[in-house]
Every structure is written in structure tokens, then in C-alpha cells.
Amino acid sequence: FTEMPTDNFVESSFWNFDALFQPQQHPARDQHDTFFLLDPAEAPQLPPGYSSKVKKVHSQGGYGSQGYRYDWKVEEARKNLLRTHTTSASARALFQLAQQEKFSPVKYFSIDRVFRNESLDATHLAEFHQVEGVVADRGLTLGHLMGTLKQFFTKLGISQLRFKPAYNPYTEPSMEVFSYHEGLKKWVEVGNSGVFRP
Amino acid sequence: LINQSSSSSFTADEEFDELCFEFGLELDEITSEKDIISKEKGEEKAKGASDVVLYKIDVPANRYDLLCLEGLVRGLQVFKERINVPRYEKIIPAEGEGQKLIITEQTVQIRPHAVAAVLRNITFTKERYESFIDLQEKLHQNICRKRALVAIGTHDLDTISGPFTYTAKAPSEIKFKPLNQSQEYTASQIMDLYRNDSHLRHYLSLIENKPRYPVIYDSNGVVLSMPPIINGDHTKISLNTRNVFIECTGTDITKAKIVLDIIVTMFSEYCEKPFTIEAAEVVYPNGKTHIYPELAYRKEKVKPEVINKKIGISETPSNLAKLLTRMCLKSHVIGNGNLLEVEIPPTRADVIHACDIIEDAAIAYGYNNIQMVIPKTYTIANQLPLNKLSELLRLDLAAAGFTEALTFALCSQEDIADKLGMDMSATNAVRIANPKTAEFQVARTTLLPGLLKTIAANRKMPLPLKLFEISDIVLKDPNTDVGARNYRHLCAIYYNKSPGFEIIHGLLDRIMQVLEVPPNEENGYTIKATEGSAFFPGRCAEVFAKGQSIGKLGVLHPDVITKFELTMPCSALEINIEPFV
């Protein structure tokens, strides 16, 4: 796996949400889950051709999808925030990959900080780290995703795994990964995953 | 999203838990009314409360059809193949007999869209009634975005007579008795009445400052509701209500249609003719009409081999059709047996692409039944150069006797400005608009405050305290596409009875040694005496390397030390390591 550049805590709503098919009226974009910026409040540049494609898919559909059918606003996409997940960096990396003349399979990873507007308590911080991995190739299946996750967690010493259907705006199918915790004597969630929507 | 249900159609708790896991629901908690009150108010108050087992279930954010007990049980029973997917039928009444909702042009300025439908001969019980109200509230919070996009109004049809008019009037012209009140109020009085109501006050701002408020009348001038605030008392639904008129108004027509579809499909179960919904006609200002609810059944054709390939299984087309039907997506094989026709019901507005269908097939098959394989992709592993350099430097700093710290990237304004003797405007910092506390007002522009706060929290540790951190700071930068960027900084501090400038200087020399940067001006590094607001006068130097200033080192000013609640001398070094990548 090759490391992705993630050295930008400040991200635009475009890369953090819109490019990941998270609708503009989604609760997670609310004031109380995301740190929005006062200064710089708006991203000066969005990739022009790409942002109009994103607009179309949200408002009318595309690539086989019905879309969300609402008015997509570019002002909303320009709003700057502190990234809520490193998937925004993955989106940028995949965009770069798409600019290549010829497609080559890749495996990317990153381990970096993310920010969520939460009150601090025993199990929640406003800043924490995420480990992210992406595999892009032809003919990948859900079985491949499960196999990769199994290998990854086994290396961490976690081998008893179960997968559960979940929902992310940008992946379908999506799975939450659960592992049996000997100390707590119950199944706990150890990760989230999915196949990116076409 | 929490849904309380007392589920009697399933057996043991464990079995239900397993079922939820497979289906994609989270069984959050198994409790009872008694337990809930016990936890919140103490055991005394809980005496006499219900012991009936309650399941708290978390439902995925995109599944509006599972938000009420009716939909949840229906979905699970179809999944277990105990019942067939119900077919929701729209009944269009004969000419002149159906209900009409006329929209006037005044609504265009405020909340232009409206849809409506009727549930005929419905039978309510206490549980069904509560479920009905509960679903509306959940939809309001969820897809309606706290009523901002869509507001739902349900009315006892036998207390009013159509045709109904949806219009907008000045607040002083609207007068009616709101739900559960004893007298009539004008719209402006209603705003005041609910200003302190814990539930309704949040919605007042949606229409308060507009010149006209939305209002729905029947043909006799009776007010049905003033969306999105409150319904009229006249039309309130009771356990004896037999015919229900449902209207959804708002700013987003797609969501209004989805909301209407969900409510009618869920509760038409209790109509005399189950799963039938009477249509209503909406008349637009321009005279065009539309029949609602749409109850659109969409057909999508999918190749079975595509489903198999994307999941990594190999099921026959007829098996796949069976799997999908279990997920309420009625399917059958067509053509030469190599195509599936999938019917997407109005309850599954979340299915917008073939990949949604593929996911449902996988869920029905059982994720944990899929064979795990490793992708055959050959790639070459690589570490990001900047991160590689950081890792190597971390090892060497630790070897030099310093301890690594990991601190927050967000801090207060004072931390990066006042406490360091600087003016906020000179910091070029990125500022947060909605911090929950003052500790998260800005993104740090220097690693120093984080380390100093760490020392302040560890005063009981033996001296000297030697800490370092190699991590990102954030500065505004108009040249980037978002307007800010990260810089990888290295910061080290030495805290002891004596400042230890020579130790910090020695550390810098060691860092340059491992980076193979020679100590001369032309092609290496050098330091020059300078002034720094955070540093002791005469004990501060600027570090130059690779043709630029990369940071400072020196003894910290006593003011800085005091402001961070420390008492001993301290020397510090902070440089940008990106030029050395």
C-alpha cells in the first residue's frame, strides 16, 4: 500500500462531503457535528470540470443513478471545514488517479488526524486519528474487501471478525466490521468499510 | 435514530439480536419502561411502570421505511419469508368525489410545494396512534431536516370539508385555535405563545420574519394547519378517527413526495382495505393538476452475473430473484434467464442505483456467508517522504533523550497569540466558526503551546522535562485551493531549574547532523541572533537553512512561562522540517 498525502487539516465541503455523494442537507453537515471555519471561510478554488459533474449527479443523477434530486448549491460546497474523515484525502487521491492517461491498479493508505465537533468524554475526543485504506482495480468484489480487512485485522491481532450491513453515503455495499472482545465479552465495532458507489 | 418497539413476533432476545445484525440494524439496548424511568429518575418513580420488554433499535440514516414499528416488522417478516411484500394500491376516486388541495401563488415566496393523500376507513388503537405521531416526528427530524424542508400535517377528514386551499397570508389575518389550546389566537400571538415551548420554539424562525405565513383552510374557512408550526385543534386526530387527510408542505418537492409515500404505505395497513390509499388532487397556481401520492414503482433491470461478480458469489438468477424479494425488492427472471427485473417499491426511496440493489442481494445472502479472498492486485508499497522523514527524526530525538508528546491541533486564541506575546492579527491563523469551547477556537500555528501545556499537566514528574513533537501546524495560504495548508514542524523544549540553552542548541546541531546539513552559511545551516516576542531578550536566535528562515530557538520569556502556569526556566526550539524532505 502506498501512503497518500493527507497534510491538509483544512478541507472544503466539496472534497469532504459533496465529492463523496453526501447530500447538502445531510445532518452530519450540521453545525454541531462539523467544525466550520470562520477564516478562511470559503475555498477559493474548486476543480471546475469535476465540480459540475458532482453537481449533476447530486441534482439529476448520472452513471446509472437517480441522484438525490435537489438543488445543489456551489456556495455550500465552498464552505471550509476541518476534515471529518480522511476519506476526503482518498477522494483527492482517486481524482488524481483518474487524471492519469492509463489506469493502473493502486492500493493507498493513510493514518492521520480528523476533527469532529463533539464534547469530550470518556469515549469521545474532538480530534482523533483514522486509518484508511483504498484498493482500486478491475474486478474487485465484496469478498475481496472482506479478505483484505481480515488480513489487516489479523496482523493487529484481531482475528475473530463478523461483517454487518451498514450505510455510508459514498459506499454501497457498506459493512461495519465487528470483532469479539475477550475482555468485554461482547462484539465491538472495529471498523467501517464499503465499495465506492459508481 | 432510535426506534422503540415491543416485538412480540420474534422469540428469544439473542435470536432477535442476530437477526438485526444480519439485516443491518443495531440492537442498541434491551430495556423496559421501568428501567428507563429508573435510570433517569430513580427506582421510586419507576414503581408501577411497565415491565414490558422494549428494544431500542438504531436504524440506518437512509431507511425511512424502517422508522416505525409497522415498517420494521414488515421488513423483517419479508426478510424471514413469513409474509409477502405487500402491494400498495392507489385508489383514484371518481370524478368530483376525491379531495382537492388548491395551492395559491402566495405560497411561492415562502414554502411552495404541497402534496396530499387520504387514508380511508382506518382503525386506530392507542399503540397505532402513538406510532403514527411518532413516525411524523421522526420524519420531521430526519429527512425533513427539522421541518425546514417538509412539514407534515394529519387531520381528521370527517371534521372538515374540501376542497382545501394552501395559501399564505399576513400573520394578523390568520386566526385559529391551535392544537390542544382552549382559545383562538392570531398567527403573531401564536409565535409568542410558543416562544418558550421546548419543542416548537425551534421552528418559529422558519417563517417568523416573512411577510406572509403559510396556512391551509378548508372550504368553510376552518384552519387545518399553519405549517411548519402547528395544526389546528379542530382537525385533531383521536382514537375514533376513521378517515385521515394528510398534507405535506415545504421547500423540497422530492422529499415531500417521499415523506407522503412513507406515511401512507406504513399506515395503510390499518385501513379497512389494507394497503390501499385514496389519492388526492393538487391544483397548482397555473391551473395544472397532479395526483398524489405518487407511489411510484420503479423497475430496474440488472444482470445476475453483475450482481454475482460484484459480491463475489455465484447464485443462480432465480435464487438472486428470491434474495432480492426478501428485501422487499420484488424480482423475477426475464429474457433468456440472463436478466433480472427488479421492482423498487415506494418504500425504498434509498434505492437509486444498481449498486443499492447489489447491496440488498448481498445482505439477503448474508455478508458472513461470502467467501473472503485477497485481491490479486500487484502494487509497490511506498511511504510518503515527509512522513518517512518525520519518523526517522522522531527516533533520533528520542535517542537524544527527549520524550515524544502528541497534542491537540486546536487551541484557544490566547494560546497562540497573547500568551506568546503576539498580536492575533499577526498569526495568520485559521479560525473556527462554531467551537464548542474556547479550547478549540483556532488551529495551532505553532507546536509550542501544546508542549507547554503538557508540561503544566505533568509538573509532578522529575526534572529536567525534555519533550518534543513532530506534527502539523496550520496556516492560511491564499495559494492553495482551500485557502490554508499544513506545515510539518519539529518542536522541542527543555524545562529545568536552569534554562539549558546549550542543550536545545546541541539538539539543533544533532538534528542537522543526522540530516547531513553542514554548519556553514553557503550550503548548510546557520543561526543568527534575533528578537522574538516569546523569547528572553538577547537569548533568541533564528535558524536559517536551504536559503530560508526555518524557525527559532532560545530561552523562553518569563511572561510566557508564567502565562502557561509554569514556574521554571525553559528553552525551546521550533523549526519547519519540510525543506529537508
What is the pLDDT, as a whole number, of residue B347? 87
Instruction: With beta carbons less than 8 A apart as the criterion, state whether B214 and B207 touch.
Output: yes
Tell me: pLDDT of B4 over 50. no
What are the residues whose beta carbons fall under 8 Å from the beta carbon of B73, sequence distance 6 or more?
A: B5, B7, B9
List chain B domain ranges: 12-58, 89-292, 298-365, 385-580
pLDDT of residue B3: 36
Q: How many CB atoms lie within 10 A of CB B38?
A: 17
Q: What kind of architecture, by CATH, is found in domain B385-580?
A: 2-Layer Sandwich (3.30)
Q: Which residues of A touch B430 (CB under 8 A)?
A: 10, 37, 39-40
Burial class (CB in 10 A: 0-12, 13-18, 19+), B117: buried
When mean pLDDT is compared across A146-155, B33-42, B205-214, B569-578, the lowest value belongs to B33-42
Closest partner CB to A38 (pick from B145, B408, B432)? B432
For residues B377 and A136, what is the distance between their CA atoms, to the nearest angstrom? 9
Q: Which stretches of B515-572 are DSSP H helices?
A: 558-563
Top-confidence residue, B323 or B3: B323
Residue B44: which pLDDT band, with cuts at 50, 70 and 90? low
Rounded average pLDDT over B292-317: 86
Is CATH 3.40.50.300 correct for A2-138? no
Write down the pLDDT at residue B12: 60
What CA–CA distances, in Å, run from B402 to B405, B491, B543, B569? Answer: 10, 11, 20, 17
Average pLDDT of span B87-92 = 87
pLDDT at B287: 86
Judged against a pLDDT cut of 90, whether residue B493 lies above it is answered with yes
pLDDT at residue B52 in the model:
65
The reported pLDDT for the residue numbered B391 is 94
For the residues B444-456, what does the mean pLDDT come to?
93
pLDDT band at A28 (very low <50, low <70, confident <90, very high): low
Q: Do A105 and B373 touch (CB under 8 A)?
A: no
- Chain B residues within an 8 Å CB radius of A115: 409-410
> Range with the lowest mean pLDDT among A22-26, A145-149, B36-40, B197-201?
B36-40
How far apart (Å, rounded) are the C-alpha atoms in residues B55 and B3?
8
Q: Which residues pair with B469 in a beta bridge?
A: B491
Looking at every residue in chain A, the average pLDDT score rounds to 88
Residue-wise DSSP of B271-312: BSSTTEEEEEEEE-TTS-EEEE-----EEEEE-HHHHHHHHT
DSSP 8-state symbol, B253? H
- The pLDDT value given to residue B160: 87
For range B552-567, the mean pLDDT = 93
Res. B55: pLDDT tops 80: no
CATH architecture assigned to B89-292: 3-Layer(bba) Sandwich (3.50)
- Write phi, then psi, for A136 (nearest 5 degrees): -125, 125
pLDDT value of position B552: 92
- The answer to whether the CB of B278 falls within 8 A of the CB of B244 is no
> Nearest Cβ partner of B368 from A5, A45, A162?
A162
CB contact under 8 Å between A8 and B480, yes or no, is yes
Chain A, chain B: beta-carbon pairs less than 8 Å apart: 214
Looking up cell 385508489 gives B91
Predicted confidence at residue B5, as pLDDT, reads 41
Other Cβ atoms within 10 Å of B374 Cβ, number? 11
Q: Is A107 within 8 Å of chain B by CB?
A: yes
| Res B2: pLDDT | 31
| Interchain contact, A172 vs B23, CB within 8 Å | no
CA B232 to chain centre: 32
Q: Which CATH number fits domain B12-58: 3.30.56.10, 3.40.50.620, 1.10.606.20, 3.40.920.10?
A: 3.30.56.10
B449 C-beta neighbours (distance < 10 Å), count? 25
Q: With contact defined as beta carbons under 8 Å apart, do B344 and B96 qualify?
A: no
pLDDT value at B385 more than 70? yes
| CB–CB contact A164 B367 (8 Å) | yes
CA angle B220, B222, B226 (to 5 degrees): 140
At residue B523, the pLDDT reads 83
Q: How confident is the model at residue B50, as a pLDDT?
A: 64
Residue in B149, B367, B440 closest to A126 by CB? B440
Would the CB atoms of B363 and A165 count as touching at under 8 Å?
yes
Is B384–A4 a contact, with Cβ atoms under 8 angstroms apart?
yes
* ∠ CA B60-B62-B64, rounded to 5°: 95
Instruction: With cut-offs at 50, 70 and 90, classify the pLDDT of residue B9.
Output: very low
Q: Is the pLDDT of residue B440 over 50?
A: yes
Grid cell digits, residue A189: 465495532
Q: How would residue A134 be classed by pLDDT, with cut points 50, 70 and 90? A: very high
Mapped to the 3 state alphabet, what secondary structure does B378-426 carry?
Answer: CCCCECCHHHHHHHHHHHHHHHCCCEECCCCCEECHHHHCHHHCCCHHH
Dist. CA B152–CA B244, nearest whole Å: 13
Residue type, B76: L
How far from B530 is each of B31, B446, B518, B540, B554, CA to CA, in Å? Answer: 67, 18, 21, 6, 10
- pLDDT classification of B45: cutoffs 50, 70, 90: low
- Are B255 and B143 a contacting pair, CB within 8 Å? yes
The verdict on a CB contact (< 8 Å) between B367 and A144 is no
Please provide the DSSP assignment of B476-513 as one string.
Answer: E-TTSSSSEEEEEEEEEEEESSS--HHHHHHHHHHHHH
Question: Residue B48's pLDDT band (boundaries 50, 70, 90)?
Answer: low
Contacts of A9 in chain B (CB under 8 A): 409, 443, 472, 474, 484, 486
Q: Which of B361, B353, B360, B356 is nearest to B314 (CA)?
A: B361
Q: Nearest CA to B246 among B274, B222, B227?
A: B227
Q: Would you say residue B42 has pLDDT above 70?
A: no
B549 within 8 A of B575, measured Cβ to Cβ = no
Please check the confidence at residue B368 and state whether its pLDDT lies above 80.
yes
pLDDT at B8: 44
Measured CA to CA in angstroms, residue B55 lies from B49, B62, B286, B315 at distances of: 16, 20, 49, 35
Q: Residue B135 pLDDT more than 70? A: yes
Tens of pLDDT, residue by residue over B494-528, are 999 998 899 999 999 999 999 999 988 888 898 99
Decide if B12-58 and B298-365 have a common fold.
yes
Beta bridge partners of B571: B494, B555
Residue ranges of domains in chain A = 2-138, 142-197
In chain B, the percentage of residues whose pLDDT exceeds 90 is 25
Contact B195, B204 (CB under 8 A): yes
Quote the ipTM score.
Answer: 0.89
Average pLDDT, chain B: 86
Q: With contact defined as beta carbons under 8 Å apart, do B125 and B131 qualify?
A: no
Residue B51: pLDDT band (50, 70, 90) is low
Residues of A in contact with B309 (CB under 8 A): 139, 141
The CA distances from residue B320 to A171, B325, B388, in Å, are 21, 9, 48
Nearest CA among A181, A177, A113 for reference residue A151: A177
- Please give the pLDDT value at position B1: 27
The shortest C-alpha distance from B156 to chain A (Å) reads: 32
- Mind listing the pLDDT tens digit for each residue in A72-104? 888 889 999 999 999 999 999 999 999 888 998
DSSP characters over B45-76: HHTTS---EEEEEE--TT-GGGSSHHHHHHHH
Among A24-33, A128-137, B212-221, the range scoring the smallest mean pLDDT is A24-33
A186: which residues sit within 8 A by CB, 6+ positions away? A180
Q: Which residues of B touch A8 (CB under 8 A)?
A: 480, 482, 484-486
Q: Which parts of chain A are beta strand (E)?
A: 2-3, 10-12, 37-39, 80-82, 106-115, 127-136, 161-165, 171-181, 186-196
What is the rounded average pLDDT of the residues A160-170? 88
pLDDT at B473: 93
DSSP state of B336: T
pLDDT at B61 over 80: no
Cell of B253: 418537492
Rounded Cα distance, B32 and B58, in Å: 16
- Domain B298-365 in CATH 3.40.50.300: no
A163 neighbors A170 (Cβ within 8 angstroms) = no
Would you state the cell numbers that stand for residue A43, as one nine-digit string? Answer: 475555498
The pLDDT assigned to B474 comes to 93
| Chain-chain contact of B483 with A66 (C-beta, under 8 angstroms) | no
- Does the pLDDT at position A183 exceed 60? yes
> Of B364, B302, B312, B361, which is closest to residue B334 (Cα–Cα)?
B302
